[in-house]
Amino acid sequence: MSQAPAINHQVRLAARPVGLPRQSDWRFTSEPVREPAEGEVLIKNLYLSLDPAMRGWMNEGRSYIRPVAIDEVMRAGGIGRVIASTSPRFAVGDHVSGTLGVQEYWTGKADDREAALHKVDPALPLPKYLNALGMPGMTAYFGLLDIGQPKPGETVVVSGAAGAVGQTVGQVAKHKGCRVVGIAGGKEKCDFVVNELGFDACIDYKNGSVREGLKQHCPKGVDIYFDNVGGDILDDVLAKLAMKARIIICGAISQYNNTTPVKGPANYLSLLVNRARMEGMVVFDYADRYHVAMAEMAGWMKEGSFRSREDIVRGLDKFPEALLMLFEGKNFGKLVLQVADET
Amino acid sequence: MSQAPAINHQVRLAARPVGLPRQSDWRFTSEPVREPAEGEVLIKNLYLSLDPAMRGWMNEGRSYIRPVAIDEVMRAGGIGRVIASTSPRFAVGDHVSGTLGVQEYWTGKADDREAALHKVDPALPLPKYLNALGMPGMTAYFGLLDIGQPKPGETVVVSGAAGAVGQTVGQVAKHKGCRVVGIAGGKEKCDFVVNELGFDACIDYKNGSVREGLKQHCPKGVDIYFDNVGGDILDDVLAKLAMKARIIICGAISQYNNTTPVKGPANYLSLLVNRARMEGMVVFDYADRYHVAMAEMAGWMKEGSFRSREDIVRGLDKFPEALLMLFEGKNFGKLVLQVADET
């Protein structure tokens, strides 16, 4: 950084959205890139993770993480390259994962708690660290294994099957000997999870009845349901639970943009009839075991028994419209915003 | 039974109710009392248990127990006295608990599976065997301890606090060192659970906001919620969960007579934020450990540290209107129908 300082383009939260976020809920700003002070690093952002959870961070009020403040740079996980450092922890050229924000550069303490920077190995494609080897993968792995406790031969159903979390849930469940049924929107996504990822079946909720699909593909009922969507699909699965079933509540993308109250699961008394349980999880609780999950899944990737698909959109300015793709089911695979070239 | 056979008056299900059961959903019949054949017993019914669950048994369709058939004698647990026996398991004069039905006499095999007859000790008042020492008590005990897993110092909230299950949940929780907050309808019931049963507080849902009450009485949030009612109260508690909270789904009396779909808990995503779980239970699963619960609670009763209250209505013909008391919250304590004098 011996030249004149570069410009850092940023996307800030301008207003708390009502329903789907609109262009006017965002403000594009720019400021000079800040040089690292003592103990700090400067990172050039390469890939940003676009996640359904972002919608929740935009709301006011108590949740598992503080809301993004008005005028603050929008929170986002990302992968970047260290381009200046005064910290012994990171060297120029290192690739790092962390909470880098929807912007082109990040400057801050190497040990900043919110950023939670850590090095990643560029031997694997970098976007994988926002997918199976990142938060979605960790969510899938620990939600399925710790909360779901799958046993070989059990039937696992996952919604959002072609999405970031769903891809990993299904493949980890297959590795653990389960029968896996996905739920996804459209033939192309369903074909992908069956033919490319090895799910046993996939129900296309856009072209048919989920209830009929469950009847056909889960003749012994659903032992584990990993719920990413909520709404009617959650109710359909509740109606097909096996005894002692476990439901992992990971998200409810169908409800995040509601301007009316959330639709609670009307069939929740199926929990009683089936002695079943529904449990929520937040991935951060498993941080001290991320390395275990990453090692196991990276191993499967290297041996070719685990795949993941990303849907990469280019350009920081595309952030607002790219985010909407998630809520319309338009992304195919983990949605990633590329904000700079790798080299 | 050397005299001419007595008459057995019975209440049979005439029609499947829509909404609250009406008089026309019942048929009163009578038939001669049947003498016991080989291996059978004849029981004179004394007390019958009236339970919210009865409403569910009247519906068609799959549940945790088969529905009562049209024209069948309505199912009910009860306490009776053996008045004739050809089985070595029971002698004339024995008091027994079992599924005796809404009728004056029961004749059948001593080892009938559905009836599940077992002797009770008449040293304790017989209605206790339909309350704390019966199904409601077993439900409360195992639901709280096995599903809830209370730790000393935790805050336990129970709805229907003055009802059969609620009374026991609260007192067992106090014995296990928890802070206990009841929810009940009316000042009289609230005073009872606080002053007579030793709850720490009680929220009167008929005269004030449950949400405000929870705020006041559960400053650290709710660790365990034992839900007997569902509906809005379940949503209010979901909004006040502590981290890692457990909700025991025992029933949903507010929803049993709906003619519209069940109201699902709109705040269920609080399970995610708080890493909490919601789990259903059915008491029959714990049958092999009933004796443990009965011994512990009978011990507390004898030492004076455990009370229970019954609300006794007299006369088999009062069954239809007595049952409705449950859904209007008119009973005060475990509702029992006395169908004959003890002596």
The pLDDT of residue B64 is 80
Report if residue B290 sits inside a domain: no
When the pLDDT of each residue in chain A is averaged and rounded to a whole number, the result is 94
How high is the pLDDT of residue A201? Answer: 98
Whether A343 is covered by a domain: the verdict is no
A278 and B268 within 8 Å at the Cβ level: the answer is yes
In a domain? residue B155: yes
Q: Is residue A293 part of a domain?
A: no
pLDDT digits (tens, 9 = 90+) for A222-267: 999 999 999 999 999 999 999 999 999 998 877 877 777 788 999 9
Is there a single domain that holds both residue A143 and residue A280? Answer: yes
Q: Are residues B118 and B214 in the same domain?
A: no
Question: Is A251 in the B-facing interface, judged by CB distances under 8 Å?
Answer: yes
**Chain B nearest-CA residue for A246:** B279
What share of chain A has pLDDT > 90, as a percent? 88
Contact residues on chain A for B261, CB-CB shorter than 8 A: 266
Q: Please give, rounded to a whole number of angstroms, the shortest distance from the CA of A328 to a CA of chain B.
A: 21
B257 part of contact set with chain A, CB < 8 Å: no
Tell me, yes or no, whether A155 lies in a domain. Answer: yes
B49 and B147 within one domain = no
Which residues constitute the domain of residue B65?
7-131+308-338
pLDDT at B263: 87
Q: What is the mean pLDDT of chain B?
A: 94
Helical H segments across chain B, by residue range: 53-57, 135-142, 164-175, 187-191, 210-217, 231-238, 270-273, 290-303, 319-327
Q: Give the pLDDT band of residue B255 (cuts 50, 70, 90).
A: confident
Mean pLDDT of A133-143: 95
Q: Please tell me the distance from the alpha carbon of residue A193 to that of residue A168, in angstroms, as a whole number.
A: 10
Same domain assignment for residues B76 and B114: yes
Q: Looking at the domain assignment, is residue A291 inside a domain?
A: no
Contact B230, B263 (CB under 8 A): yes
| Residue A163 backbone dihedrals phi, psi, to 5 degrees | -80, 180
Residue B89: the pLDDT is 96
Beta strands across the sheet bearing B277-280: A201-204, A179-184, A155-159, A222-227, A241-249, A277-280, B277-280, B241-249, B222-227, B155-159, B179-184, B201-204
Say whether both A118 and A167 belong to one domain.
Answer: no
Of chain B, the percentage scoring pLDDT greater than 70 comes to 99
Same domain, B114 and B234: no
Give the pLDDT score at B3: 61
Domains contained in chain A, number: 2
Q: What pLDDT, on the 0 to 100 scale, is given for residue A24?
A: 96
If you average pLDDT over residues B264-285, what whole number do you get? 94
Q: Per-residue pLDDT tens for A173-222?
A: 999 999 999 999 999 999 999 999 999 999 999 999 999 999 999 999 99
Size of interface A-B (CB pairs under 8 A): 103
The mean per-residue pLDDT over the stretch A298-315 comes to 94
Q: What is the mean pLDDT of residues B163-177?
A: 96
Asked if residue B2 has pLDDT above 60, the reply is no
Q: What is the mean pLDDT of residues A64-87?
A: 96
Are A25 and A323 in contact by the 8 Å Cβ rule? The answer is: no
Which of B107-114's residues contact partners 24+ apart within 8 Å by CB, and which partners?
Answer: B107/B33, B107/B34, B107/B35, B107/B36, B107/B40, B107/B41, B107/B42, B107/B43, B108/B40, B108/B41, B109/B39, B109/B40, B110/B39, B110/B40, B110/B41, B110/B85, B111/B39, B111/B87
B122/B155 same-domain check: no
CB-CB: which of A261, A265, A280 is closest to B275?
A: A280
A264–chain B Cβ distance below 8 A for any pair: yes
The answer as to whether B291 is a domain residue is: no
Closest residue in B to A229 (Cα) is B269
Percent of chain B exceeding pLDDT 90 equals: 88
Same-domain check for residues A90 and A154: no
Q: How much is the pLDDT for B4?
A: 61
| Residue A2 scores a pLDDT above 80 | no
Q: What is the mean pLDDT of residues B307-317?
A: 96
Assign residue A248 the CATH number of its domain: 3.40.50.720
Q: Are residues B320 and B255 in the same domain?
A: no
List, for residues B138-158, the tens digit of each pLDDT value: 999 999 999 999 999 999 999
B82–chain A nearest CA distance, Å:
33
B181 pLDDT higher than 60: yes
Structure-model confidence comparison of residues B60 and A254, the more confident one: B60
Per-residue confidence at A336, pLDDT binned at 50, 70, 90?
A: very high
| C-alpha to C-alpha distance for B168 and B84, rounded to whole angstroms | 34
- What pLDDT does residue B27 have? 98
**Claim to verify: residue A234 and residue A332 sit in the same structural domain:** no
Length of chain A: 343
Domain harbouring A20, CATH code: 3.90.180.10
Same domain, B196 and B71: no
B263 and B229 co-located in one domain? yes
For residues B303 and B252, give the distance between their C-alpha atoms in angstroms, rounded to a whole number.
33
Distance from CA of B264 to the nearest CA of A (A): 4
Contact B239/A at CB under 8 A: no
Whether residue B299 is contained in a domain is answered as no
Nearest to A264 among B249, B268, B277 (CB): B268
Question: Which ipTM value was assigned to this complex?
Answer: 0.88
